[in-house]
């Protein structure tokens, strides 16, 4: 049961810290961003990493964050952003 | 970086190495380096890989260099229809150069006067190897991976690159199967250059996003 | 809570921007990894997990390709392609041949 987010949807990255191989970096967990595009669906790296087949596939989204939202002490420009590619099971609609 | 090994400086060419011996100034001394060599020899003995396959793979990897990517950028600069194809589907567009992304996807991101892109892989070292070759040491370093997401402008300054405050610096963290290539802006003054001359302006660092192409010398 | 590889946002010093060309040994490990992936002996995700499981101390002590060698060994043993005994024996013989003095 995949989660689908259309471009422009505001999402929040789950603030979870499970064991195992995770491709959602700690620095975006618990943060809010906007879905820019859907890259398609791919086998789940978390289960591929332990020798399974990675199915069912997970949708992958490009999520854009404002740097000022990621780092309380961000020193760059207010307009600066960061894009990370996050799997749907790590995202919740805000 | 400390090393487990208490090592002497030995320069030895292994007597029975199946592939070419290491460079004379290489010192194979740590446990993990010896482990690598041992595994290679075991895998050859078991017929899982052959010395020839290893040699050909090294040659193939060596055949892809930043010049490979620069040619793609130069074509995008001179052929607007190709540029659109490249931005729409990078993996497909590079096939026109006989290149293949294997199991990953190439996403080309365009620099504009409003947006400057820079690429990093904080979790490991994902890099468009099939278009640019092997990544530079610094790209794989803890320093680059830790700081580029948090203070990109300071990191860019260490490469001699400054961006105005009204330019959006957009960092791409390659966390999944997408591999990113920056399409830099074509420098002013290059209007009369052909694709080959333009390609010379495009360095590897421009396609990672830590630098911009130099304006052509008059 | 945070694996040794998950370094985004951590404090770190200046970037060493000098070029460091890959040594022949490093190119071999890189090629070996590619070949084994192509032949289906290991997946990228398995390799990454093995690197992450090296632990903070080992991860931060080893160089990039040394981590790959360590991870590859782990993956090949787990899959039964090589045994620890075989590896230990070959390491000893390689070490003797090279005359290297390693821990």
Rounded Cα gap, residues B185 and B213, in angstroms = 8
CATH code of A62's domain: 2.30.30.50
Judge whether residue B25 has pLDDT over 80: no
| In-domain check, residue A61 | yes
Written as one string, the DSSP assignment of chain C is ---TT--TT--------S--PPPHHHHHHHHHHHHHHHTTS--HHHHHHHHHTT-HHHHHHS-HHHHHHHHHHHHHHHTTSS-HHHHHHHHHHHHHHHT----
B30, B63, B91, B124: which is the annotated catalytic residue? B124
Rounded Cα gap, residues C76 and B108, in angstroms = 35
| In-domain check, residue B202 | yes
Neighbouring chains of B at 3+ CB pairs under 8 Å are: A, C
Neighbouring chains of A at 3+ CB pairs under 8 Å are: B, C
Judge whether residue B24 has pLDDT over 60: no
Q: Touching check for B105 and chain A: CB below 8 Å?
A: yes
Per-residue model confidence as pLDDT tens digits over A38-57: 999 999 999 999 999 999 99
Residues of A in contact with B87 (CB under 8 A): none
Domain that holds residue A83: 10-93
pLDDT at B29: 60
| In-domain check, residue A60 | yes
Rounded Cα gap, residues B18 and B64, in angstroms = 25
CATH code of B134's domain: 3.90.330.10
Helical packing angle, B51-63 and C24-38, nearest 10°:
100
pLDDT at B85: 98
**What mean pLDDT do residues C57-81 have?**
93
CB atoms under 10 Å from CB of C20, counted, come to 12
Residues of A in contact with B171 (CB under 8 A): 67, 80-83
Per-residue model confidence as pLDDT tens digits over A50-77: 999 999 999 999 999 999 999 999 999 9
Is residue C1 very low, low, confident or very high in pLDDT (cuts 50, 70, 90)?
A: confident
Judge whether residue B28 has pLDDT over 80: no
Per-residue model confidence as pLDDT tens digits over B42-87: 999 999 999 999 999 999 999 999 999 999 999 999 999 999 999 9
What ipTM is given for this predicted complex? 0.96
| In-domain check, residue A17 | yes
User: Is B206 in the active site?
Assistant: no
The secondary element (H helix, E strand) that includes residue B145 is helix B142-147
Rounded Cα gap, residues B210 and B182, in angstroms = 10
Judge whether residue B3 has pLDDT over 70: no
**What mean pLDDT do residues B95-109 have?**
96
Number of domains in chain A: 1
The answer to whether the Cβ–Cβ distance between B4 and C102 falls below 8 Å is: yes
| In-domain check, residue A5 | no
Q: Among residues A67, A23, A78, which one has the least CA distance to residue A91?
A: A23
């Amino acid at each position: 049961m995949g989660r689908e987010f259309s471009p422009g949807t505001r999402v929040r990255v789950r603030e979870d810290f499970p064991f195992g191989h995770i491709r959602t970096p700690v620095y975006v967990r618990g943060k809010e961003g906007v879905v820019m595009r859907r890259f398609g669906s791919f086998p789940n790296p978390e289960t591929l990493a332990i020798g399974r087949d990675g199915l069912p596939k997970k949708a992958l989204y490009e999520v854009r964050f404002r740097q000022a939202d990621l780092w309380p002490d961000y020193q760059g420009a207010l307009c600066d952003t960061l894009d990370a590619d996050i799997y749907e099971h790590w995202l919740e609609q805000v | 970086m400390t090393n487990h090994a208490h090592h002497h400086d030995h320069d030895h060419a292994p007597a029975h190495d199946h592939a070419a011996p290491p460079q004379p100034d290489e010192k194979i001394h740590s446990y993990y380096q010896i482990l690598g060599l041992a595994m290679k020899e075991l895998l050859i003995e078991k017929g899982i890989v052959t010395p020839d396959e290893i040699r050909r793979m090294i040659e193939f990897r060596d055949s892809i260099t930043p010049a490979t990517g620069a040619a793609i950028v130069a074509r995008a600069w001179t052929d607007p229809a190709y540029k659109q194809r490249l931005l729409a589907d990078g993996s497909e567009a590079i096939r026109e150069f006989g290149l293949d992304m294997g199991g990953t996807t190439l996403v080309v991101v365009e620099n504009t006067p409003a947006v400057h892109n820079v690429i990093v892989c904080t979790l490991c070292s994902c890099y468009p190897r099939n278009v640019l070759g092997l990544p530079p040491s610094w790209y794989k370093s803890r320093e680059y991976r830790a700081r580029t997401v948090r203070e990109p402008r300071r990191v860019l300054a260490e490469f001699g690159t400054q961006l105005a405050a009204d330019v959006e610096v957009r960092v791409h963290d390659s966390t999944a199967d997408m591999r990113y290539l920056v399409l830099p802006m074509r420098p002013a003054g290059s209007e009369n250059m052909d694709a080959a001359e333009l390609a010379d302006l495009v360095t590897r660092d421009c396609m990672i996003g830590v630098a911009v192409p130099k304006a052509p010398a008059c | 809570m945070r694996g040794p590889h998950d370094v985004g946002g951590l404090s770190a010093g200046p970037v060493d921007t000098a070029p460091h060309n890959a040594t022949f040994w490093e190119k071999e490990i890189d090629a070996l990894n590619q070949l084994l992936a192509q032949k289906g002996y290991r997946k990228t995700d398995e390799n990454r997990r093995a690197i992450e499981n090296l632990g903070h101390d080992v991860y931060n002590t080893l160089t990039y390709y040394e981590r790959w060698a360590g991870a590859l060994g782990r993956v090949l043993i787990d899959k039964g392609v090589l045994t620890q005994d075989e590896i230990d024996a070959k390491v000893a013989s390689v070490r003797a041949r090279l005359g290297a003095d390693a821990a």
